[in-house]
Chains A and B, each alone.
Chain A
Amino acid sequence: MELTSLSALELGKKIKSGEVGVVEATKASLENIEKYDSTYNCYVTVCKEEALKRAEEVQKLISDDTLTSPLAGVPVGVKDNMCTKGIQTSCGSKMLSNFKPTYTSTAVQKLEDAGAVILGKLNMDEFAMGSTSETSFFGATKNPWNIDRVPGGSSGGSAAAVAAEEAFCTLGSDTGGSIRQPAAFCGVTGLKPTYGAVSRYGLVAYASSLDQIGPMGKNVEDVAEVFSTIMGHDPKDSTSVKQDAKKFVLDNNIKGMKIGIPTNYFRKGLDPEVKESILASAKVLEGMGAVVEEFEMPALDYAIPAYYIIACAEASSNLSRYDGIKYGYSAENFDGLVDLYFKSRSEGFGEEVKRRCLIGAFVLSSGYYDAYYKKALQVKAVIKKSFDDAFEKYDVILTPTAPTTALKMGENLSDPLKMYLGDIYTVSVNLAGLPGLVVPCGFDKEGLPIGMQLIGKPFGEDTLLNAGFAFQSTTDYHTKKPVLKSGKEA
């Protein structure tokens, strides 16, 4: 068995026992990157020198028992919207293509403190705005299951890197489904934690009230370990919740677990193969003792418009700081200050980012605030309430992750509204601040992965992880691997 086929925790064990060296593991990952990344384009930046140097340091610290984390020595990748000191953090944008942060984000720092070796920075939709990873300034990432397909987005690089074994696990970020949808498209496991569970300090903001960093990996155990490493209160993030990091002891006994299925998610627009696979997965869970029930959640139908209003509004404000003065792209030819603003922003941002900034400016502008932004915040309250009600009855809500399997490259780029509609099953989770776990649950006729989404109560990640762990202990979808193509073969 190849080293890179191991899960993060399996590798961690072998490193701890001395069976595998940290440098050896790091080299194996770097070799895979060298071999496959010209095909899949998962990485924006590969930190080869830094990773090898760090691997040696980590090896010493493991050998003298200073580092004892199960992730010590495990090579990982980080989405390129998390600040890494001295290492380019581009957000997939021309705007930040020359930006080297002067500090490291809390989540990445925690991962490094545990002894994980950062291999590099992963590709993404520009400023995390997109569901295909095609809007990156550094070119599209491709789906390891089929290079004509998108890996999903915006954390497409983070998902594809796990699938292509270019990292043992990765960090992504999720504002409206950006961890979960690519996890589903790439056949990996991904967790969007409860809002506030992981510090956002150092995560370049897209929509501050919705953004959340989370782990992606080969199985639920890896994801649980990474989550347990990066979670916890951070005094630098006022919205991070005052809870300590905890270890998850996974348990596949889900007897009596109440699982709700919102029927209105299974009507029009859902691909029949995806539907079948999700419902079959529900049967699997039922077979293990869970109580599965159908129910209606009509408020969910309003999630997409509310989400896009709030996300665009916050984005338009968050992205105003990119003006060509303090950092990032600065136009070369301009006439005065105002022209510098216009030119730097117009030349530095891509189409989708500009579109969302314009929509955001519109919904907040004088005369429209109440009709759009305020209304969206009211709808958010309605959606939150309907989740609260549902969780009175259910421990977990089971839904599809996306209406289809991975789309063809370019298919959605031409029609932004169509792309937005693809986020139907994921955005409500962000609006309500809830945790969502995606686990592989099947394949379509073309062999593309399907993922199911489990939604939990606030800070109910342990329940989700147990449900996912139980599912993976009786299914093998998560162990299936795509046939990888090196640059030459592709």
Chain B
Amino acid sequence: MKITDEMIDYISQLARLELSGEEREKGKEEIGKIIDYMDTLNTLDTTDIEAMSHAFPVKNVFREDVVKPSVDRDIITLNAPQKKEGCFKVPKTVD
């Protein structure tokens, strides 16, 4: 599949990745080649085959509704690049 400029821009927007001009050109070519290879799956007929997201039929794994102590917020925000008053700090977000 030919990866067009629009496609590479669209997926890099979705992935929140900024590509340099060179990365973008290289990405188009490489990803195109990889997608082409992925297209070989089309030679296998999978009509009527159920998509399998879990390899084993494990089901109904639950937890009881019992409160456990939360983690101290100084610990939770320990790795935060920017914090203030126990909160993660981000650039002004228009909501």
Contacts and interface: CB of A to CB of B under 8 A. Distances in A.
Interface of A: 98-100, 102, 195-196, 209, 235, 238-239, 241, 299, 302, 304-306, 308-309, 316, 320, 323-328, 330, 334, 336-338, 340-343, 345-346, 349, 351, 354-355, 357-363, 365, 372, 374-382, 384, 416-417, 420, 431-433, 458
Contacts of B70: none
A324 B81 contact: yes
- Say what secondary structure dominates the interface of chain A: helix
A357 B17 contact: yes
A326 B7 contact: no
A416 B79 contact: no
B17 A196 contact: no
Given A239-B58, A342-B17, A381-B49, A102 B75 contact: yes
B54 interface: yes
Nearest to A372: B38
Contact of B55 (A325, A375, A378, A384): A384
Contact of A327 (B31, B56, B80): B80
A343 B20 CA distance: 12
Nearest to A195: B55
Interface string B15-41: 111110001000100110111011111
Interface residues of B, number: 50
Contact of A377 (B19, B38, B52, B75): B52
Interface string B74-95: 0110111110000010111100
B74 to A, nearest CB: 10
Contacts of B41: 302, 305-306, 309, 372, 375-376, 379
Nearest to A378: B46
Nearest to B81: A330
Nearest to B10: A365
Contacts of B63: 235
A209 B54 CA distance: 7
A163 to B, nearest CB: 31
